Structure formats: C-alpha cells, structure tokens
Amino acid sequence: MIQKNNIEQEINKELSIKYRIVPYKFDQDKMIFWTDKYSSNTKEALKVLTKKNIEFKECSSKDLYDLRQKYYSKTDISNIKSIIDDFSDEKILNKRQGFENNDSKIIRLVNYLLDYAIANKASDIHFDAVDGASLVRIRIEGILRDLLKLDRSLSNILINRIKVLAKLDYTVRNIPQDGSFSYKKDGKNIDIRVAVVPTIYSEKLVLRILNRDNVELTRQGIGLQGRNAELVSKLIRQPSGLILSVGPTGSGKSTTLITLLKELKSPEINIMTVEDPVEYKVEGFNQIEINEERGLDFNLGLKSILRLDPDKLMVGEIRDQETARTALRASITGRLVLSSLHTNDSPSAVYRLKDIGVEEYLISAGLIGVISQRLVRKLCDCKVKERKYVELYDETMDIYKPGSCGKCDMGYTGRIAVYEILLLNDRLKEAINSGMGLIEFKRLCKEEGLISLKESMKEMLKEGSTSLDEVYKNIMTIGEK
C-alpha cells in the first residue's frame, strides 16, 4: 500500500488545482482521483506522472474544492520548507554571521510549526537531536511522524527562541529545563508546555500542545456509552468514595476525570482540583496547579484543599503513599474523590496502591471503583475485511485492516476510547482485606461481571471499529494467565 505522504510528493496541491483532481484511493498499481471534469488528456498526464493506471470518481466543483481543502490544508508544509530554504541560502552567503540577525524569520518558523501541529490536532512536537541535525516529529492520534530535518545551526537558534518564549535560560544546555508559554491561534490562547534535556548530540526538546478545542468534555465526546455509561453513573452518584482512572500516559485519564466532575457541577457544591498541569480550565471549579519547585506537590495541595470545605475533589495523579492515604481518608470522611494512577488494568490498581504502602483496610474502605481506558485509532470506511487466525484470542476471526482513500490518514479517522470499569462490591472488598493475590482477584472480578479491555477490543475487532495492530499496541500480552 502506498503511503499518503508519498502521494502528496507526487500530486501536490498545485498539481491538484492544475488537473482539477484530489486523490481518493491508491495502491501499488492503480490511483483513483476525485474530479469535477473528466479529461482524457489529464488521465494520460497523470499516468505518465505516477506510472500507474488512473481512474476517476466524479463530484461537483464545490465538493472538489472542499475535498482539496480537507486533503491538503493540514498536510501542506510548503511555507515551513520555504523559510528553511531561505535560511540555507543565507548560511551559504554569510557563514560567519549565521542566523543571529534573522529573529523575525525564526519567529515565523516557530509560528508555522505550531500552526501546522494545531491544524493537524497534534498533541506534541519533538525536536530530536541527531548527528549534525535535528529531526522534527509530531505526534498525531498517538503516533509520532517524521516532519522534516533541520540543520543543527538552525535548530539551535529555533530551540533558543522556544526557550525564550517559555522563560527558560537559553544559555544553559547541560541540565533539563521545563517551562510553558501561551500561543494565540484564531483568537484563542493555547497553552504550550516545554521540556528540554541534553543528549549526546545536542538538546532534545518537546512541545506539549494543550488545545482544549480538540476535546468535547461530554460523555459522547469521550466515547462513554451503553453499559459503561451506566456503570460510571452508579459511581459518580455515590456521596463519597475514591474513583480511580487508570491507564498509560496519553490514554485520556485526565479528560475522563474532568468530564465526570463537570457532570457533578452545581452552584450548591464546592468542587476543587489539584492538577499538574491544569489542562482544562472549567468555570465553576477551583483549580490549583502544583509547583514542586516551590514545594507545592500533590500531597500538600490535597491537604490544603481539604481545609477549604470541598464536596467533590480531584487529584490529578496519585504518585506516592502519602497522597494515596490522604485521598482515601478524604473519601472515607464523606467526600467523593477522583484521581488517576498508572496501571495496566482496573484490578491492578488495587495492588498498585498496596505496592506503594497503602494498608488494605484503607483501600477496601475508600475505593469504590476503577475506570481503565485506552485510546485506539478508528478505521475509516475504506477498511478491508480479511479472515485470519488471531493468536491473542486463539481463534480464526473476520477482522478488518486499514484501507486507503483521500479522506483518511493511512486508513484511520480519529480515535475512540475503550473502557474497563470495575465497581468494588462487598465480595471484592472482602477479597482485598483477605490479602488475595492479583491473579485470583482478577478471576473474581470477572466472576462479578468485569468485562476486560481485551474482551472489549475483541468486539471492536469484529465490528471493524479498529485494527489488530491497534489492539496489540494497547493490550499487555506478557504474563497473562
């Protein structure tokens, strides 16, 4: 299968306009294009250009324009490449001065990179130091993709510019630094978090883009529906207790917690949060951002807000024994507490709390439920059905693999959430107090009705919602019993 990026190199936006076409589907031997005006001359020209058989799919002129905007606007990096070429020319002409006198161009380059990432709904921009250069990559829907390579001299100046924006010391290159800045796009301020560390070649820098417009903070927006929605409703209707959201980094834990807390918002109650960082600013919440350099960590933040008469509260993450104990004690004394934890599945959250030193009686008394989740890429309608043996489920299944068309990104369109929700009933609480092992506890959870992430993804495979590659990327397969 030909990758979309290769098609863009062969058929760029200028050629799309010239020939009145937009790529639709393509494989090794054939390319299909949208067009509003069939021409045999165009067909022959494209055949010579691509060295493939050409077919057309007709549409209106308006639809062709809309398809072109959708296909090319987010992938066009010509303005970025143009300004980089300008720098390269100037470097040849004036090696001694380098780029120091080109502040305005550096500002434009940073802005172009941010605009491109935001348009593509990227979560991160990476500047990876390699021998003599810097590789720029962006993370879209959880996947890192190469964007371009920058000359080392240019990347150093660009990194310095970002450091200045983030109020970091641009003269320091031998220790890690963290900062942030706000970027205005289409009249809205977008928070950009900056992290930079030294490597064996140069500095590695990552920009985390906190664009709140990318997420709809509703149950529908986070993909919570059906049986899972009913289970979550039971949890958040409780007057007190600890609810944990678990999963790896980037699985949407914070988004789920804020969405659920937003449902509880009322003028009659005091909602407080302590977060690192505050990703979603919600009117009606009292939100505290931790600052460990000044001594404000999760535990201190949590203890502080407990003195401010909260009804519902959220702790961004439980990282240590003291924060866990404080959260559980708060839940036992009549408050609903929401927090996150890094574990692979819902039952493992109980044993993670034990591992950091929390007593079993505290866990069984305070913990009422665990929401484990993953974000998987959703297959486009151009998906291809196949029948194959799936080792993970030890059976032959009808599943789907990515196709390719002009409307998707390598066969995928966006991401969907998968949930595993555990409600701790009396039987499970007794098992925690008895010191039952994890394997036995998982079996007991299944007996009590827990539908695992693995089983949920099996249904998604059969439905054609996602691919087998996405399942393997999100499910642990080592150590299973």
Distance CA 1, CA 437 (A): 47
Residue ranges, CATH 3.40.50.300, the chain:
226-474
Q: Decide: 207 and 194 in contact? Cβ < 8 Å.
A: yes
What's 409's DSSP letter? B
Mean pLDDT by 10 residues, the chain (481 residues): 52 81 82 89 89 90 79 69 73 42 77 89 92 91 90 90 94 92 87 93 93 80 90 95 93 92 93 88 89 84 90 93 94 94 94 96 96 94 93 94 80 90 97 94 96 94 94 80 54
The residues of the chain that CATH labels 3.30.450.90 are: 78-212
Where does CATH 3.30.300 sit in the chain?
4-72
CATH number of 4-72: 3.30.300
- Report pLDDT digits (tens) over 362-394: 999 999 999 999 999 999 999 999 999 999 999
Residues 6+ apart with CB under 8 A from 163: 169, 170, 177, 179, 194, 196
Find all residues with CB under 8 Å of 411, minimum gap 6, and list them.
379, 380, 382, 383, 401, 402, 403, 404, 467
Read off φ and ψ for residue 377, nearest 5 degrees. Answer: -70, 140
Distance of CA 281 to the CA centre of its chain: 18
pLDDT value for 265: 92
Q: Distance between CA 243 and CA 312 in Å, rounded?
A: 11
Interval 284-337: pLDDT, tens: 899 998 887 788 888 888 899 999 999 999 999 999 999 999 999 999 999 999
**Beta-carbon contacts of residue 144 (< 8 Å; ≥ 6 apart):** 124, 126, 137, 138
CATH number for domain 226-474, candidates 3.30.565.40, 3.40.1160.10, 3.30.70.260, 3.40.50.300: 3.40.50.300
Question: Which CATH number does 78-212 carry?
Answer: 3.30.450.90
